[in-house]
Structure 1
Amino acid sequence: MESVARTAALVLYLWSVFMQSSRISALGVNELLYFRIISPEEIGYIFSAAPAKDFGGTFKSFYDEIFLVPADPADGCSDMKNQDVIQGQVILVERGGCSFVQKARHVEEAGGKAVLIADNAEDNDSQYLDMVADGSTAKPSIPALFLLGRDGMMIRRSLQRQALPWAVISIPVNVSALASFPFNQPPWTLW
């Protein structure tokens, strides 16, 4: 039993080294991307998100520890007021108020590395939306992902409750490398 645990730990370590040293290839159509919240521990789960259909970039690096910063304003429809903490981080934005493309552009202009757009239907724990371009010519180049509404709400509530300015996440996470370990998925979301 101990040797199985050592082998599993070695496989996980080697995968981590590989991911850090290689480029992440683009996802196929209808594939989900996964990220893990490292801190705060109360929401230390693996979450899934759906990449935008026809705009935004792909992750070219693995971020072992990067901040997930809630946008200010929350809908991301105007210039970011918290640019000082957005620079180089992943930004959590709420759906509504303007197009997905506009939100991603505002985050990119503020220096964000990627944007997670959480559904504004806070009871949505299973339905991913197709984020499509809005017809504008200026498309963002950062990764843009759709996050279930319940996941976004739970993340924001946890940060507010603990008066934290951000969560620490790992993105993207290869869940197939975790096959021998139990998924630590959010208890409110069915996969």
Structure 2
Amino acid sequence: MRPVHFHHASCHGINELLYFRVISPEDIGYIFSAAPAKDFGGDFTSSYDEIFLVPADPADGCSDLEDTEIIQGQVILVERGGCSFVQKARHVEEAGGKAVLIADNAEDNDSQYLDMITDGSTAKPSIPALFLLGRDGMMIRRSLQRQALPWAVISIPVNVSSLASFPLKQPPWTLW
């Protein structure tokens, strides 16, 4: 039995989560779940069969992002910490990113979704902002680093209710 850690997070119902599938690299070819921000950020107006998931540089997304030509129109992976969720999303949006996945900086977090709320600033980003479990973010980044890849290819959002006909290939380290 693993100890349960309660953070300042409310539990998200499965229907509140959004899912994406990693197409490549294949070693992390799973369906991941992420929690949309509570009170800022937009919704996915269309679904993307193939879009890049690009790790941000700097990783925390708290200052202007490098590699803006790669970021254009893609989904950006940033790490939690250093500044507010809203600031991260705003930096990604200003760099031309289509959406932002903010991975928990607690790399052992494989079950607690945080509620990402606004920081009180007036300029709210309009791109989708999603909270990713720390373990998932770490495994994605580690796979990309190990294979020296600049990005993963994902499809987002994935409608898991339509996948009921075959087993969900979820990460072996995550329980849901």
Provide the rounded CA distance (Å) in 2 between the counterparts of 1:111 and 1:61. 17
Partner of 1:145: 130
After TM superposition, list the pairs within 5 Å mapping 1:26-41 onto structure 2.
31-41=16-26
Q: Deviations over 1:109-144 (max 9, x none)?
A: 000000000000000000000000000000000000
Shift in Å, 1:82: 1.5
Determine whether 1:68 maps to 2:68: no
Q: Deviations over 1:2-47 (max 9, x none)?
A: xxxxxxxxxxxxxxxxxxxxxxxxxx99700000000000000000
Partner of 1:157: 142
Partner of 2:111: 126
- Secondary structure of the residue aligned to 1:172 is strand
Where relative contact order (Cα < 8 A, 6+ residues apart) is larger, the structure is 2
Given the alignment, which residue of 126, 135, 151 partners 1:166? 151
Shift in Å, 1:62: 0.7
2:62 partner letter: C
Shift in Å, 1:180: 1.2
Report the structure number with the largest CA radius of gyration.
1
| Structure 1 stretches lacking a partner, 5+ long | 1-27
2:41 partner letter: G
Q: CA RMSD in A?
A: 1.2
Partner of 1:47: 32
Determine whether 1:86 maps to 2:51: no
Shift in Å, 1:96: 0.1
TM-score, normalised relative to structure 2: 0.92
- Secondary structure of the residue aligned to 1:145 is strand
- Secondary structure of the residue aligned to 1:129 is coil
CA contact 1:119–1:147 (8 Å) conserved in 2: yes
- Secondary structure of the residue aligned to 1:122 is coil
Determine whether 1:109 maps to 2:94: yes
- The count of corresponding residues between Structure 1 and Structure 2 is 164
After TM superposition, the runs of 4+ consecutive aligned structure 1 residues lying more than 6 A away are none
1:186 partner letter: P
CA contact 1:57–1:142 (8 Å) conserved in 2: yes
| Structure 2 stretches lacking a partner, 5+ long | 1-12
Q: 1:186 to 1:42 in 2, by over 3 A?
A: same
CA contact 1:30–1:50 (8 Å) conserved in 2: no
Partner of 1:176: 161
1:38 partner letter: I
